[in-house]
Structure 1
């Protein structure tokens, strides 16, 4: 039964760019593929994860509070090279089991964000393992059910991932009470870093390639670059508020952060909608020029 449930989630995840309903609806979810410690076969498992600053993500071997570590954990201990699917990209990663103070700090962060982790820990005599997954350097690979998407579809997939993450962060901030927890601060800083990298990639790769082959796009490119500057300033405002000393204890912090998130979401949605309207028809035209994705 568990296998059937997992396979349904996997199929839905791959068919819908990482979006699923039911038990995992609204959660941060990845598909983790490990190599069986005994069989040597590939095993894929849907898992919730925690952002960790852009360099890595974190997963916890809760097994629903069961008495034994989950099979995927035993697999990655035997072979730490794994594959991660995040709904947009597929990438190879190295798994590291956190130990000592680092494990305890990260787990405390997770509990602060979702007390369900503490409930799972209370149900079992084992220490729930915390694992960091760090991407192995390499070109991005898209993980859509239909294989490599068109350039326009790829752009929309990336945009929709930012939309979903920011909507989730907004809900987390709105529900956080007066102050922000440590994990929520990490979530905000991680999406800030991701947006910055995405726009740098567009400014230095995709936009120049399109402008070279489509001179009539010059006004559009100029507007998009100006909007990138505006968004960068909003991202920096959010980063400054979230990174401020004492923000987790400051009773005004959460409302202030929520206002900054709303400003960023509003401006970013206008920008993404305009970019998609202007560029997707060109990116998906037969003579479109390949550009850097990501």
Structure 2
């Protein structure tokens, strides 16, 4: 039977490129479409996720601390291949349930970033499973969740701006409360990994899809595209520096050093996004049409 609450979240998620309000406002969600364990019927469920620093993302089968595993988990055990929507992209993935030792390590990291996971585990006698979702490689650019390339570009850019704003907000809150060490490091790690993976996917999609298309249609754009490719490499270097700073023991995280790296990344990424919009949006938008998304 369809779940009215989930149906509302799914509709809002798809209408707003992954952002929802109400109970899940501010949460990091994916839509998982799994095949029913008994029937094979597709079922779509909104699920919170935890970034893992690589291609895979992690989902935790908490069910709010219920005594039984959620249906989507049973579906993935029976049929590990699924479809994932993250607000920007839709892709096929392979689910792998983590073995106990790795599960415990990942779950501990998740608790550092959000103590609510510990509260869920305390409510139930079952060991809450953690599932890794591995994207299945495919040829060509990823499938975008937008009505046009111009809209997708603006939506993606605004997501990255939002992630940077979250990081800056966390630093501000930490300064007010005096928070340092483990909690700040864990929070930054989540946002950094989300931003890193999102930018990697976006830049890969551009270099496989939008850039060749525009180069073919607008040969005079070649210098701008070369500049954008070089900026992709520079931003990847800055992201790797930030990733390394957050990869150490959270207790040893130096907020001052990380803040300096965040400020440098913010400055260069915002300049890149703005230049790209100035150069590409007019060429991706049909004459007389609006790109459809504002900042």
1:34–1:44: 8 Å Cα contact kept in structure 2? yes
Aligned residue for 1:235? 239
Q: 2:145 aligns with which of 128, 143, 152?
A: 143
The answer on 1:281 being equivalent to 2:282 is yes
Give the SS at the match of 1:49: strand
Quick check: 175-184 or 111-120, which moved more?
175-184
- Two-structure CA RMSD over aligned residues (Å): 2.7
TM-score (norm 2): 0.83
Aligned residue for 2:68? 68
Aligned residue for 1:118? 118
Dislocated runs of 4+, deviation >6 Å: none
Evaluate the alpha carbon distance shift between residue 100 and residue 64 of structure 1 in structure 2; reply closer, same or farther with a 3 A threshold: same
Q: Alpha-carbon deviation of 1:178?
A: 1.2
Give the 5 Å matches for 1:84-163: 84-138=84-138, 139=140, 140-144=142-146, 149-163=147-161
Equivalent-residue separation in structure 2 for 1:43 and 1:107 (angstroms): 26
Give the SS at the match of 1:72: helix
Aligned residue for 1:55? 55
Aligned residue for 1:168? 166
Give the 5 Å matches for 1:214-233: 214-225=218-229, 227-228=231-232, 230-233=234-237
Aligned residue for 2:293? none
Q: Alpha-carbon deviation of 1:191?
A: 3.0
Equivalent-residue separation in structure 2 for 1:169 and 1:7 (angstroms): 30
Aligned residue for 1:185? 189
Q: Alpha-carbon deviation of 1:83?
A: 1.0
Q: Alpha-carbon deviation of 1:238?
A: 2.0
Equivalent-residue separation in structure 1 for 2:229 and 2:91 (angstroms): 29
Quick check: 206-215 or 149-158, which moved more?
206-215
Equivalent-residue separation in structure 2 for 1:141 and 1:196 (angstroms): 15
Equivalent-residue separation in structure 1 for 2:37 and 2:270 (angstroms): 45
Q: Structure 1 stretches of 5 or more lacking a match?
A: 287-294
Give the SS at the match of 1:249: helix
Q: Alpha-carbon deviation of 1:63?
A: 1.0
Render the CA deviation track for 1:138-189: whole Å, top value 9, x for unaligned: 2422234xxxx32212222332332333333444455562124457436524
Equivalent-residue separation in structure 2 for 1:66 and 1:274 (angstroms): 49
Equivalent-residue separation in structure 1 for 2:3 and 2:88 (angstroms): 24
Evaluate the alpha carbon distance shift between residue 154 and residue 130 of structure 1 in structure 2; reply closer, same or farther with a 3 A threshold: same
1:53–1:187: 8 Å Cα contact kept in structure 2? no
TM-score (norm 1): 0.83
The number of residue pairs the alignment matches comes to: 279
Give the SS at the match of 2:20: coil
Give the SS at the match of 1:17: coil
Equivalent-residue separation in structure 1 for 2:204 and 2:80 (angstroms): 31
